[in-house]
Amino acid sequence: MVTASEDRIQAADFQAYPAIDIRDGRVVRLAQGDYARETRYGDDPLAIIRGYAEQGADWLHLVDLDAARAGGYTLAPLLRDIAATTGLRVQTGGGVRSRDDVARVLDAGAARVVIGSLAVRDPDAVLAWLGEFGAERLTVALDTRQDAAGVWRLPVHGWTEDAGASLDALAARFERAGLVHLLSTDIARDGMLSGPNLDLYRHLRAIAPGLRVQASGGVRALDDIAAARAQGCAGIVLGRALLEGRFSVADALSC
């Protein structure tokens, strides 16, 4: 039986989110979140972002990798340039650790702020921000790694520390509290071009059917986008495959 919340998700537009990860001012990708396994794709993020906008993108997923490790979001100037020159709506995060961080990133022009590690370490704070800023202004990122027992765990601090939390418990809690947008990356697939973990998104659909889930990690071909959409995801984050020209934003939007 399909619930009313599932009907709303199925009826809503599926979004493709081109992703730009920034480290030391450069566009990079990390393999499985490992800062020692970095591939560089250019020194001019805005040029790449403008290209995505010209291909028809509506949204951009922007990550501050330096801040993800050290805190202190640094991409506000780039956010302002994106708003001034592209018209893209941006969801962005990295190093968001406080209520004031959220406010500053929104003031700089973000449409949504992505909150990752803090959502795992201090979910009560994030639940309060949902009430203050509104569910449409926040995306919770529950990036996950499956342990030997098959439990989806939630590493934090740039995916380097195990916080002991489980995906099932937190996803259900945030859904009950009114969260709308959940981004979940299978860390084992991230940057590996091995295909998204459809079992993970099937699982999320079962335990928290009211969430609009964004798939992330492993996308390598247009068929992966179509498969994630068919699985009930509300969107998909596209990183390395776009940067390496395996398909275009326009191609992705046609799926």
Decide if 205 contacts 185 (C-beta within 8 A): no
To which H or E segment does residue 46 belong? Answer: helix 45-54
Beta strands in 57-190 (DSSP E): 59-64, 89-93, 112-115, 138-141, 145-146, 152-156, 161-166, 181-185
C-alpha torsion angle, residues 23, 38, 159, 183 (rounded to 10): 70
Q: Which of 21, 66, 186, 224 is the catalytic position?
A: 21
Nearest to 253 by CA among 51, 15, 52: 15
Is 100 a catalytic site residue? no
Reduced to 3 states (helix: H, G, I; strand: E, B; else coil), residue 158 is coil
Distance CA 223, CA 219 (A): 9
Q: Is 21 annotated as catalytic?
A: yes
Task: Note the Cα 100 to chain centre separation in Å.
Answer: 21
Catalytic residue among 64, 143, 186, 224: 143
Q: Which sequence positions are flagged as catalytic? A: 21, 143
